[in-house]
Structure 1
Amino acid sequence: MTMTAPQVLMTTRASWHRLAEHVLAAGQFAAQGTIRLRPYPGGFATTVGFGDRQLAVAGDELLVIRHDAVRSERLTTLGRAARFAGVELGLRGSYPPATSADPDAPLPVDPTAARWLADWFALGDAALRRFAEEVGEPMEPVLWPEHFDLGVVLEAVNYGCSPGDAALPEPYLYVGPHEGRPSVDPFWNAAFGAAFGAHHIVTTDDAVAFFSEGRRQVLRDRSRT
């Protein structure tokens, strides 16, 4: 995948992350007790929703979806987004949020960066689903608002797709054994396990191959203990 400029990508990612925590997850958690989100065409969305509506972010717009009716508004500030969605701004009662709930915080989104991030989540979602099915444990990946990453847990190992963060700014795939890095093999190149930058990933096959190699390494090293 060919990325857009790193700073533009980070700015768009930061805006999406604030929306994920303080609008989508906030409204859904208050009503349904779950913060789980999911990829959505052009962005991301709630899973169970609340009341008669789902919320989604697609590019630089916030969507309120009721049955077959969709209302949209261009993103401006966090406070305005919450009012349009009909939710109380700010995630409460789940975990300490990673982002600010400042209602006047602007939400700049670059359309090209947004498309790239949406495609990255879509690729990660397809790869994680296929990998889990091949392992024999089909499951639906979850987009977690805290770290704004998409993942599954299999055999006490986290497998996932991140749009980047403070520690690793480039978007990446990861394998994170719960017991920590199992060996000194060069595959384990991150404090939490292994990370593989998006510039290495062209297809879903590339992503599945990385997850599969991570699992092979974990099982091999566990068999030695």
Structure 2
Amino acid sequence: MTDDGIGRTRRALHAVAEHVLAGPQYRASGTIRLRVAPGGFRTWAEPALAVVGDTVVHGATVHPISGRTARELAAACGVEVGAPAGVYGDGGGLGPDDVLEVDPGAARLIADAYARGDAALRLLAPGVEPVLWPEHFDVGVRVGEVNFGVSPGDADLAEPYAYVGVDPVPDDPYWNAPFGRAAPMAELATIDDVWDFFDEGRRRAGQ
């Protein structure tokens, strides 16, 4: 699988997260929070929508994403398309009328990274519900002054990665990213591996 294939899939899923799940949920229920779910992610509140693999699931109906726009998917699900207005400034970059392309293998890779990350975050911070934020499309928690999470990738690191975010970043080679520490999820094969990464970052950050 090429980095470009992962990138197209990530951008497409991000667009669905913003325009089909988070935006309609914000307008109906007042929250932009999403959560990791089997095979992908879902809304936190009404409307009840989920992304599973390369599809959007609405009740008993499954809508393939590839070849369609967020506007078409939203209409098929009976919701108003559009990201949460006035809540954040950044986002995935794709609009409601961009045609989306999802590679099933890349979607599984991202869903698996989210699942391992979500499970490790729950071990790291029991009782804290991990949130998948539609702005940056990462699942994370905050413990004290430190952010922990898993990103599906971005312009700097195309593949899914785990991160520990600190501010300011210490002058120490351990901290290898502008925001703190990052490690590709390909190097963290199990939930325990991800937890170990988070735990080391927490100790080095003095939490």
| TM-score, normalised with respect to structure 2 | 0.93
Aligned to 1:171: 160
**What is the Cα deviation at residue 100 of structure 1?**
4.3
Kindly report the root-mean-square deviation, in angstroms, between the aligned alpha carbons of the 2 structures.
1.5
What is the alpha-carbon distance in structure 2 between the residues aligned to residue 192 and residue 101 of structure 1?
Answer: 25
Taking the aligned partners of 1:199 and 1:126, their CA distance within structure 2 comes to: 16
Q: Compare CA radii of gyration and give the structure with the larger one.
A: 1
1:126 maps to 119
1:58 to 44, 52, 57: 52
Aligned to 1:111: 104
Is 1:216 paired with 2:203?
A: yes
Whether the 8 Å CA contact 2:9–2:106 is kept in 1: the answer is: yes
Moved more, 20-29 or 104-113: 104-113
1:175-197 deviation digits (Å, cap 9, x = unpaired) = 112x321x222111111111111
CA distance in 1, matches of 2:15, 2:147: 23
Find the residue that maps to 1:63 and give its secondary structure: strand
Superposition map of 1:9-158 within 5 A: 9-50=6-47, 54-65=48-59, 70-75=60-65, 76-91=68-83, 92-100=85-93, 102-133=95-126, 138-158=127-147
User: Offset of 1:168 from its aligned partner?
Assistant: 2.1
Instruction: Structure 1 unaligned segments of length 5 or more: list them.
Output: 221-225
Give, in whole Å, the separation in 1 of the partners of 2:168 and 2:46.
34
Would the alpha carbon gap of residues 100 and 211 (structure 1) be closer, same or farther in structure 2, given more than 3 Å must change?
A: closer
2:197 maps to a residue whose letter is F
Match of residue 223 from structure 1? none
Amino acid at match of 1:32: S
Gaps of 5+ in 2: none
C-alpha displacement at 1:49, in angstroms?
2.0
Aligned residues: 204
Whichever residue aligns with residue 33 of structure 2, its letter is R
Higher mean alpha-carbon deviation, 38-47 vs 99-108, is at 99-108
Cα pair distance change 1:97/1:26, threshold 3 Å: farther
Deviations 1:30-82 (A, max 9, x none): 011110001121111101123xxx001112211113xxxx2111222111011
